[in-house]
Structure 1
Amino acid sequence: MTAARARFRDLVAAEWIKLWSLRSTGWILGVGALVVIGINVNSARSNADLLEHQPATSPDGAFQVDPMHAAFVDPAYQILVVVAAAVGAITVFGEYTSGLIRTTFAAVPDRRAVLVAKAAVVAAVMFVLGAVVAAASFGATQAVLSDTIGLPIGAPGALRAVVASALLAPLCALVGMALGALIRHAAGTVVASLVTLLLLPSLFAGDTYRWAKEIGNAMPLTAWQALVENPAMDYPPGRYPVTVAEAWTVFAVWPLVAAVVAVVVVHRRDV
């Protein structure tokens, strides 16, 4: 008699249990979220103090402080990138290093279904984390700046910045999953994630050569920076800037490719 095919919702439930059975998951997500929000709020407090206490330096008596930047500070979201990629990666290589993956595939031979369920759970959890961090960062920082230059959510570019920041977490988590499936080693996966998501955008940030700049524009962190930029501020565009449409394309392509890579690699390689 052929065993009944596992229902997808059962696979999702199993992956949910496995994710939260790691005691470190809650701590990593909670502490990571607080650190990111704290850095952004501290940035807003510094800007508010600058506006209130220091003498004016421009002819019209106003500092050129970007309230949007206070809510989405680069170092803060680089930490979020690391947290998201690490959580995504550990859901794959953690099972390989512990040997649990053999039990999983013995119970459910359809490896592709298992990986799709895993990707769905990771993406959902990290999207909630990203949404909480982005909304809290924007709300708290603009409250701090409310007496001076605070922005409402309806301001040009504000909602776009919050949505992009929320989506950055699941994107990076799925990239971490794909690298975990390819490498299957904790240290190697973490290093590969850092290189891919943080180092490469810096290496290709210069605009001397167009081909190099276009590679940099295709990186998730570069796309995120373009999406959280305040359109009300008069920033010099530089050479070969990434457009908003291109940035959203990057946000769509990277997680899709990462999920496909993870599914294909795990399906074809031996345990």
Structure 2
Amino acid sequence: MSATSSTPTPTPTSAPTSTSASYVPAGASGAAEPRARFRDLVAAEWIKLRSLRSTFIAYGATALAVLAFNGGTAYDTYNYWGMRDAADRAGFIEDGIALQHAFTVNGAMVMVLALGVMGALAVIGEYGTGTIRTTFAAVPARRSVMAAKAVVVAGITTVFGVFVAGASFALTQAILGARDVGVPIGHPGALTVVVASALLAPVCALAGLALGAVIRHTAATMTATVAVLVLLPLVFTDGRRWSAVISHALPTEAWIRLTEADHSRTAFPWTASGAWTVYAVWALAAAVLAVLSVHRRDQ
């Protein structure tokens, strides 16, 4: 009897189902990170600035120093008013001396120097500690970061300038008013003095920011800031035309032109619109220079 060997038939199994799910490394998100909005960058720069205790100390000390210089000059006039001759007392307001007391040259120089330094510190502080690399790693759009810095610096220094110029005008005219030689804000030229003095702060701060973004070293930046904002106006005078042209292109000389009562005594007089243009050009050029300087450099 022949036996037939039967081979068991294999039971069909279902083929493994392949999924098309892509592999995502741990810690990575499937969607691309959204780009930081500019207002978020501005908010971040504002947080950086106000989180430093030295910021409020520096601005507070500068405000007190400026008010002390201006108020001290007005009080000196009040105290020694009786020693002036009749002609000086009669022409005190007409000659614009009351407005010169509203914001003195000494007070302006203190603000120019202090605000230029504080504008520079807004950027060289990060370069000095190396945290600028962390900032650029988090936000690769370097120019946007620097533009946000410029916006914050311009904003806070404008508010500072408005406060100091307004407080100085109120203080000095109140002191002079005790001798009946104070002027109101509606007096011809008074508002110009206040606005020009207020806007001098952001112009100098942005200039310091630009120098800090380009030089990136504390000592060299401080030296350059003093040289550009304080020493250059002393080097170039109105004695010759070429020197007068350079002098008129400096922000401190523009402030003097806007606040000076008699500006026709110079050999090469210039217009108030030219002085306002100097303000605008310096602020815009400084902001552009600061933004462009970080395009390919982070150290």
**Matched residue, 2:13:** none
**Matched residue, 1:93:** 124
Task: Give how far 1:270 is off.
Answer: 3.8
* Residue 162 of structure 1, aligned match among 194, 209, 225: 194
Q: Identity of aligned pairs, percent?
A: 51
Structure 1: 5+ residue stretches without partners: none
**Matched residue, 1:43:** 73
- Check conservation: 2:132, 2:298, Cα contact below 8 A: no
- Check conservation: 1:197, 1:220, Cα contact below 8 A: yes
Per-residue CA deviation, residues 168-211 of structure 1 (Å, 9 max, x unaligned), is: 11111100000001110111111101110111011112x22101
Give the distance between the partners of 2:52 and 2:65, measured in 1 at CA.
Answer: 21
**Matched residue, 1:134:** 165
**Matched residue, 2:275:** 247
**Matched residue, 2:292:** 264
Task: Give how far 1:54 is off.
Answer: 1.1
2:38 is the counterpart of 1:8? yes
Task: Give how far 1:57 is off.
Answer: 5.5
Give the distance between the partners of 2:91 and 2:71, measured in 1 at CA.
Answer: 19
1:107-256 residue pairs with structure 2 within 5 A? 107-146=138-177, 147-205=179-237, 207-230=238-261, 234=262, 236-256=264-284
Task: Provide runs of 4+ in structure 1 moved above 4 Å.
Answer: none
Give the distance between the partners of 1:63 and 1:253, measured in 2 at CA.
Answer: 36
Task: Give how far 1:50 is off.
Answer: 2.7
Task: Give how far 1:267 is off.
Answer: 1.3
Give the distance between the partners of 2:297 and 2:184, measured in 1 at CA.
Answer: 50
Normalization by structure 1: what TM-score?
Answer: 0.94
Task: Give how far 1:268 is off.
Answer: 2.7
Give the distance between the partners of 1:267 and 1:247, measured in 2 at CA.
Answer: 31
**Matched residue, 1:54:** 83
Task: Give how far 1:75 is off.
Answer: 1.2
Structure 2: 5+ residue stretches without partners: 1-30
- Check conservation: 1:157, 1:229, Cα contact below 8 A: no
Task: Give how far 1:46 is off.
Answer: 1.0
Give the distance between the partners of 2:148 and 2:298, measured in 1 at CA.
Answer: 20
* Residue 33 of structure 1, aligned match among 30, 51, 63: 63
AA at the equivalent of 1:149? V
Task: Give how far 1:229 is off.
Answer: 1.6
Give the distance between the partners of 1:56 and 1:84, measured in 2 at CA.
Answer: 39
Q: Secondary structure at the match of 2:234?
A: helix
Which of 1 and 2 has greater Rg?
Answer: 2
Give the distance between the partners of 1:210 and 1:124, measured in 2 at CA.
Answer: 36
Give the distance between the partners of 2:83 and 2:151, measured in 1 at CA.
Answer: 49
- RMSD in angstroms over aligned alpha carbons? 1.5
Normalization by structure 2: what TM-score?
Answer: 0.85
Task: Give how far 1:153 is off.
Answer: 0.5
AA at the equivalent of 1:31? A
